[in-house]
Every structure is written in C-alpha cells, then in structure tokens.
Amino acid sequence: MSEHVVIVGGGTGGTVLANDLADRLRGEIDDGDVRVTLINDDPDHVYKPVWLYVPFGQREPEDGRRRLETLVDDRIDLQIDRVTDIDTAEQRLECGNGAPIEYDHLVLATGSTLAPEEVPGLAEGGYNFYTESGSVALREELLSMTEGHLVLSVVGTPHMCPAAPLEFVFMADDWFRKRGLRSEIDITYTYPIQRVHGNPNIGSWAQPLMEERDINIETFFNAEEADPEAGTLTSMEGTELDYDLLVTIPPHRGIDLVSEAGLGDRGWVDVDKHTLEAEAAENVHAIGDTASTGVPNAGSVAHYQAGVVGQRIASEVRDRPATAIYDGKTLCFVETGMDEASFVEFDYENGPQPAPPSEKLHWAKLAYNESYWLTARGLL
Ligand SMILES: Cc1cc2nc3c(=O)[nH]c(=O)nc-3n(C[C@H](O)[C@H](O)[C@H](O)COP(=O)(O)OP(=O)(O)OC[C@H]3O[C@@H](n4cnc5c(N)ncnc54)[C@H](O)[C@@H]3O)c2cc1C
C-alpha cells in the first residue's frame, strides 16, 4: 500500500508544497510507494498580489491567473474539486464530485476568505482590491474621482498582506499627485489599534511617511457600520467619517470546514508555530494563511512554510524523525509610491527594519511578481 499525502488548496502554499514533494519524494513516487494528491476548487492558480496594481491601471486580473496544471509537476495527482468535509478521526475527506479520499498525511492550505457581511453596509458601501472583481470595480471609481474624500479602512485583522493597505494609500497619494488632482482629494487611513500597523517597527516607520504626504490617520478606529446612502463610516469608538470613496480591507476568515472539523476558530487552523502540526489532530499540517502562527498572512510565509512541511512529510514517509521547523521567516516588498518601494525581512526572533524606499526596490518587487511563476513551480 502506498502512503497518501493529500494537500487541500492549490494557491501559493499548496502549489509550492506539491512541487517540493514531487522533487523530494521523486524516487518513492516513481516506485509507487507514495502518492501525492493536490485538490483545488479552481482550475486556475491565482496570484493575488497583482490585484494591488489593477486599480491604478497597471495590471489586469488575468495577469494573476495561470492554469494550475501548467504549474504542477506531473508526479502530482491534481484534482479540481471542492473539499466539503474533513474527518480527522477517520483520516478522510469528502469532495463535491468524487468518492471519499483517505489520507495518511493531510496538509491544509486553503487560504483566507473575505467576510464583509460581518460589518453592516460594508459589502454595499465599500470597494476593495482584495478580489479580482473588486480591484476592477475600484479602478473605475478611482479613474472617475477628481475631488472628494477617499477613506481606506482596515476593518479586521488578521488580513492578507498586512503591508497592502499602506501600499494602497502611498500609491493613491502618488497617483493623484502625478495626475494633478491631489490638492482636490483628501486621503484618510484608518486602523483598529493605536498605531498605523500591527507591527510596531513598521508602524513607526510608516506613520511619518504618511504625515509627510498629508495622508490623514485615524487610529483606534474599529468600523462598526457603513452607510452608503449618507456616505459615512462609523467606528465602535464613536468616530464618524464622511467619504466619497470608501476602500476597505474587509474582515477575513479561513474556511468553515476547518472549524467544523474542530481544528480552530474562524476557519484558522491552530498549529504549533514551529512544526506547523495541527494541535487538534494527528497527521495534519497547515500552511499559509490558514495556519494560525501569528506571522503575517503573506505568500512569502506560505512559501517558506511549504518548504518546512515538505521536509517534515518526507522525513515521516521515510520513518525518520521530522526535524525541520519554521522560524517565522517573512519577506515583503512594500510599495511607497508608484515607483519606489521599501523591503522588510523578519522572523520570530528579529523584528522588521524597513529599508529606505528606493526605485531599485520597486523594480525588485515588480521583478519578483514576474518570477513568481517560477517560484510556484519550485524552480526558484
Ligand atoms: C491585494 C493583495 C496583495 C498581496 N500582496 C502580497 C505581497 O506583496 N507579498 C506577499 O507575500 N503576499 C501578498 N499577498 C498575500 C498572499 O496572496 C496570500 O497570503 C497567499 O496567497 C496565501 O497563500 P495560501 O496558499 O495560504 O492561500 P491561497 O493562495 O489563497 O490559496 C488557497 C487555495 O485554496 C483553495 N481552496 C479553498 N477552499 C477549498 C476547498 N474547500 N477545497 C479545495 N480548494 C479550496 C482556493 O481556491 C485557493 O486556490 C497579497 C494578497 C492580496 C489580496
């Protein structure tokens, strides 16, 4: 009997992991001792960072989509299906179209979902660049905006790419300046806690940059309700903001199946932050956004975690102790305008020290976005 490794989710983490295992366990797979199945509910792999550039007319949503089958090694059994139930006691999954799938090792890489419905008025009153369709709709709004008040509100944390809301306001500021409209447009950024970012180092680096650029800041702002008719956003703390264009980072959740399987709250899997093993079940790992480790929900994190879990599963398959651990490594380029960026790298022990913004780092970010497709294939 071959051992069966099943990965649910063919986004950044799941795809990198599938290719990592295809390489690492090449011999065992070719000999029929191990099977690796990757299940994704979309035939396409979606690279979400592209959506930051769509509202500014720099990229199209299609630039962030590729057929998953072109990215995944032939040794992987790729199934386009939706997992509908996870039974960790029986080590079995139910899928939308097919027969139950039994696993020996399960990796959950099911990412984040948006939950704007958790705040009244948000779905109707706010735009966002956290979906393909949202980024396109926001592009139309930005293009037609010639005056008024743009409010960017970070509504819930954790959310994907903690840098992206900062990037958006820095880019919007520069984009309107370059088009000669900035003096007609106020920009306000709201954040739920007492600083502009969850990480204190990034917060104290970003705040002066925002002040220099006349970006208004509202901290301790936990959005309670948007009223699209009146054009207002109110916070639990009692602040009311008038807006002409509201851009939100909506609340995020994992997938319901995770909570239904008893693996964690709000769809996030409770894991050991070093081994990435699920706390509530045997033979289950989680990587990427769905793994609750306290590090940012970022593609770079999913990528590094995939490498760790690939090593751990290969060790387990070979009856060796699994010693690889995740050290919290996170890497991120942060756009600070339309043609300059900063860069941060940190882990559980060492906090981020944002690099001075430069054009070179902006080009490095764009170059990374292009080379991403090689990364997903496991070639970088
Ligand atoms: C606007 C924006 C900008 C970003 N910029 C950056 C950046 O610059 N740098 C960075 O590092 N990160 C960035 N990110 C974050 C990054 O995209 C995510 O953190 C990353 O995609 C997480 O990878 P993942 O594998 O955990 O999940 P995902 O890549 O989201 O993949 C999850 C996959 O699981 C599938 N799935 C879900 N449920 C099921 C099911 N029941 N059955 C089968 N399949 C299922 C989904 O369809 C999806 O394919 C950005 C995100 C956004 C929205």
Q: The domain that contains 187 carries what CATH number?
A: 3.50.50.60
Residues pairing with 95 in the sheet: 83
**Pocket-forming residues, ligand 1, beta carbon under 6 Å:** 8-14, 39-42, 48-49, 51-52, 82-83, 109-111, 129-130, 160-161, 164, 255, 257, 288-290, 297-300, 302, 332
Query: For residue 131, which atom of ligand 1 is closest to its CA?
Result: 53
- Read off φ and ψ for residue 231, nearest 5 degrees: 70, 45
Model confidence pLDDT, tens digit, residues 122-177? 999 899 999 999 999 999 999 999 999 999 999 988 999 999 999 999 999 999 99
Model confidence pLDDT, tens digit, residues 267-279? 999 999 999 999 9
- How many domains, in total, are found in the chain? 2
Q: Which protein residue has the closest C-alpha to ligand 1 atom 5? A: 49
Q: Which of 59, 68, 342 is nearest to 209 (CA)?
A: 342
Is residue 50 a contact partner of residue 63, using CB atoms and an 8 Å limit?
A: yes
Question: What is the domain range of residue 67?
Answer: 3-112+254-329
Percent over 70 (pLDDT), the chain: 100
Instruction: Identify the H or E element spanning 306.
Output: helix 299-317
Query: CA–CA separation, 129 vs 165, rounded Å?
Result: 9
Model confidence pLDDT, tens digit, residues 28-64? 999 999 999 999 999 999 999 999 999 999 999 999 9
- How long, in residues, is the chain? 380
Model confidence pLDDT, tens digit, residues 322-338? 999 999 999 999 999 99
Q: Which protein residue has the closest C-alpha to ligand 1 atom 53? A: 130
Q: Which protein residue has the closest C-alpha to ligand 1 atom 37? A: 110
Is residue 369 a contact partner of residue 167, using CB atoms and an 8 Å limit?
A: no
Report, as an integer, the average pLDDT of 248-266: 97
The answer to whether residue 346 is domain-embedded is: no
Same domain, 205 and 282: no
Which of 51, 84, 160 best tests ligand 1's pocket when mutated (most atoms within 8 Å of CB)? 160
Report, as an integer, the average pLDDT of 223-242: 97
Name, in order, each residue with C-beta under 8 angstroms of 236's C-beta and a sequence gap of 6 or more.
222, 223, 224
The answer to whether residue 101 is domain-embedded is: yes
The answer to whether residue 208 is domain-embedded is: yes
Query: For residue 129, which atom of ligand 1 is closest to its CA?
Result: 1
The answer to whether residue 227 is domain-embedded is: yes
Alpha-carbon separation of residue 269 from 87, 213, 219 (angstroms): 14, 39, 29
Report, as an integer, the average pLDDT of 235-245: 97
CA–centroid distance, 12 to ligand 1, in Å, is: 6
The answer to whether residue 271 is domain-embedded is: yes
Phi/psi region, residue 346 (left: phi>0; alpha: psi -120 to 50; beta: rest), is: beta
Count CB atoms within 10 A of the CB of residue 270: 17
Q: Which protein residue has the closest C-alpha to ligand 1 atom 31? A: 11
378 pLDDT higher than 90? no
Same domain, 187 and 291: no
CA–centroid distance, 295 to ligand 1, in Å, is: 15
Name, in order, each residue with C-beta under 8 angstroms of 182's C-beta and a sequence gap of 6 or more.
173, 176, 214
Q: Which protein residue has the closest C-alpha to ligand 1 atom 38? A: 110
CA–centroid distance, 226 to ligand 1, in Å, is: 27
Report, as an integer, the average pLDDT of 353-361: 98
pLDDT at 379: 77
312 pLDDT higher than 80? yes
Contacts 24+ apart (CB under 8 A), 95-98: 95/39, 96/41
Instruction: Tell me how many helices (H) and strands (E) the chain has.
Output: 9, 23
Residues pairing with 118 in the sheet: none
CA–centroid distance, 375 to ligand 1, in Å, is: 15
CA–centroid distance, 112 to ligand 1, in Å, is: 6
CA–centroid distance, 48 to ligand 1, in Å, is: 7
Which of 251, 279, 307 delimits the end of a domain? 251
**Average pLDDT along the chain:** 97
CA–centroid distance, 296 to ligand 1, in Å, is: 12
380 pLDDT higher than 70? no
Question: Quick one: tokens of 210?
Answer: 């925002």
Which of 7, 12, 329, 333 best tests ligand 1's pocket when mutated (most atoms within 8 Å of CB)? 12
Alpha-carbon separation of residue 133 from 140, 143, 216 (angstroms): 11, 16, 28
Report, as an integer, the average pLDDT of 349-367: 97
Q: For tokens 């990215």, name the residue.
A: 71
Name, in order, each residue with C-beta under 8 angstroms of 315's C-beta and a sequence gap of 6 or more.
321, 322, 323, 324
Which of 329, 346, 374 delimits the end of a domain? 329
CA–centroid distance, 84 to ligand 1, in Å, is: 19
* Longest Cα separation, the chain: 69
Instruction: Identify the H or E element spanning 371.
Output: helix 359-376
Report if pTM > 0.95: yes
Which of 41, 69, 108, 290 best tests ligand 1's pocket when mutated (most atoms within 8 Å of CB)? 41
User: In angstroms, how far is CA 43 from the centroid of its own chain?
Assistant: 19
The answer to whether residue 354 is domain-embedded is: no
The answer to whether residue 315 is domain-embedded is: yes
Query: For residue 369, which atom of ligand 1 is closest to its CA?
Result: 8
> Which of the 8 DSSP states describes residue 293?
S
Report, as an integer, the average pLDDT of 219-240: 97
Is residue 215 a contact partner of residue 190, using CB atoms and an 8 Å limit?
A: no
